[in-house]
Each structure stands twice: as C-alpha cells, then as structure tokens.
Amino acid sequence: MKRLVLLGPPGAGKGTQAVKIAARYEIPYISTGDILRRNIKEGTALGKKAQEYMDHGELVPDDLVIALVEDRLTWEDCNNGFLLDGFPRTIYQAESFDKYLAQKDMKLSVVLNIRVPEEILLPRIIGRRVCKTCGATYHVSSMPPKAEGVCDLCGGELHQRADDAEETVLNRFKVYQAQTAPLIDYYETADEIAHIDGAASQDAVFDAIVDILGA
C-alpha cells in the first residue's frame, strides 16, 4: 500500500516519473493539473472557474482543488493507495489534506521531493509538447517525436500547454517559490519527506525513487 505525494517545481519531471511510479506500484496517478485541464476542455463549471487562474500561472483557489481531490480519493481504485502530483500546493491545502487523512485513518507513505536547479527548468518546460489526444509528453530537443508535431503513440496532434509559454512559466516559478516550496519544510518537520536529484536522467531519477519506495 503506497500513498504518495510528488513535490517539485514546474518542469521537475513529476508527470514523467508519476506515470512510471503508478505502473510499478499499481496505484492511480492523480494529477490535479490534468483534472483541471480536462474540466476546461469539457467546459464544466469547475473548468470555467479554474481557467482564468491557470492561463496566468496562478493557483486555483484552495477550496476548489481540495474538494476535487477529496472526491477523487473516494473512487474505488484508491483503496490500494494513490499517487498525487500537483497537490497539495499550499500550506492550507496540506493542512486540510492532513485532516482529511486523519479522519479516514490514513497516513501518507512518503512525500517525494524532486529537486532541480531553476536554470535547467525553463528550457525543459518551454520545449515541452503534449499530445492533445492521449496526453503523452515530448520535448523538442531532448525527446522529440519521430515526426514533428505528431504523437508516436496515437498519431494525435502535439501542442504546447497554454501555461508553458515563457512569461507564464516565470510566473509559475514565482508562485511555486512563494506558495509551494514552504511545503518542503512542512513535510520535513513531519518527517515524511525524501529528496531526489531531479537533474539526473529520467531512468536514474526513477531508480532513486524505487530505492526509496522499495520493491
């Protein structure tokens, strides 16, 4: 049973690692960013409330995200654990999540904090391309698709996430430093955190995570 949280700045490779972790430990991968983007695409009430914040790289209000996560965690596939990516993102969310877990008599296994120096994050994010159909991610220089603009896996069209444009990314870094980085100390105090060097290759990062989580 693994109940995991992935922490790290935008572009740390959380999404890439999350897919591998979820497959290896057979737990659902829950990305609040992905859920919010899906709601925007489908034009739901939640999507309408979230869009303006997301387009500017700002955080969506805590209560909306907390409700979304608490609902998602009631799904049956979470009985065997879960992997959260992008939540919690503020101290308020973390405190509220701790209360939720305590109520359900649950405890996090560990918070995985992926550390990457900021100077290598910006080129990583700006070159990122995502498949509109299946969500697979590529990078224009370090992981290009076989044919430009086309997903290797499903043939879908690749695009840049609206919030991956340079100006928005710089704001997302600021927001991360101000609101999310304090969570490192929060979980350090609770003795629930493990640090991983996210500047290493994708395989090396995954190996380090498996070392921490065990077989």
Pick the stretch among 87-95, 132-140, 144-152, 207-215 that binds ligand AMP (CB under 6 A).
Answer: 87-95
Residue closer to ligand AMP, measured from CB, 60 or 83 = 60
Phi, psi (5° rounding) for residue 56? Answer: -100, 5
Reduced DSSP (H G I as helix, E B as strand, rest coil) percent helix, strand, coil of the chain, to 5: 50, 15, 30
Q: Is 172 an active-site residue?
A: yes
Per-position x/- string for 137-176, each x denoting binding to ligand AMP as judged by CB under 6 A, each - no binding:
--------------------------x--------x----
Q: Which of 8, 10, 13, 198 binds ligand AMP (CB under 6 A)?
A: 10
Interaction with ligand AMP in 170-199: which residues (CB under 6 A)? 172
For the CB of residue 15, give the shortest distance to ligand AMP in the complex, in Å.
7
Which pair of tokens denotes residue 157? 């069209």
Give yes or no: 2 in active site: no
Q: Which of 3, 12, 30, 32 binds ligand AMP (CB under 6 A)?
A: 32
Q: Name the one residue in this structure whose structure tokens are 């840049």.
A: 160
Could you tell me if 84 and 18 are in contact, meaning their C-beta atoms sit under 8 angstroms apart? no
How far from each other are the two terminal CA atoms of the chain, in whole angstroms?
12
What is the distance, to the nearest Å, from the Cα of residue 104 to the centroid of all Cα atoms in its chain? 23
100 binds ligand AMP (CB under 6 A): no
Cα separation, 121 vs 61, in Å, equals 25
Does residue 14 have an active-site annotation? yes
Q: Are strands 137-139 and 128-131 parallel, antiparallel or unpaired?
A: antiparallel
Q: For residue 63, which phi and psi values (nearest 5 degrees)?
A: -65, -35
Q: Which stretch binds ligand AMP (CB under 6 A): 59-67, 118-126, 135-143, 181-189?
A: 59-67
Determine, following the binding rule CB under 6 A, whether residue 113 of this chain makes contact with ligand AMP: no
Going by C-alpha positions, the residue among 189, 210, 13 that lies closest to residue 94 is 189
* C-alpha distances out from residue 175 to 32, 64, 191, Å: 16, 18, 25
Looking at beta carbons only, is 56 or 195 nearer to ligand AMP?
Answer: 56
Rounded Cα gap, residues 159 and 37, in angstroms: 14
Q: Is 115 known to be catalytic?
A: no
Name the active-site residue from 2, 3, 14, 37.
14
Is 161 considered catalytic here?
yes
Which of 30, 59, 73, 205 binds ligand AMP (CB under 6 A)? It is 59
By annotation, the residues acting in catalysis are 14, 89, 128, 161, 172
Which residues of this protein are in contact with ligand AMP, per CB under 6 A? Answer: 10, 32-33, 36, 53-54, 57-60, 65, 86-87, 89, 93, 163, 172
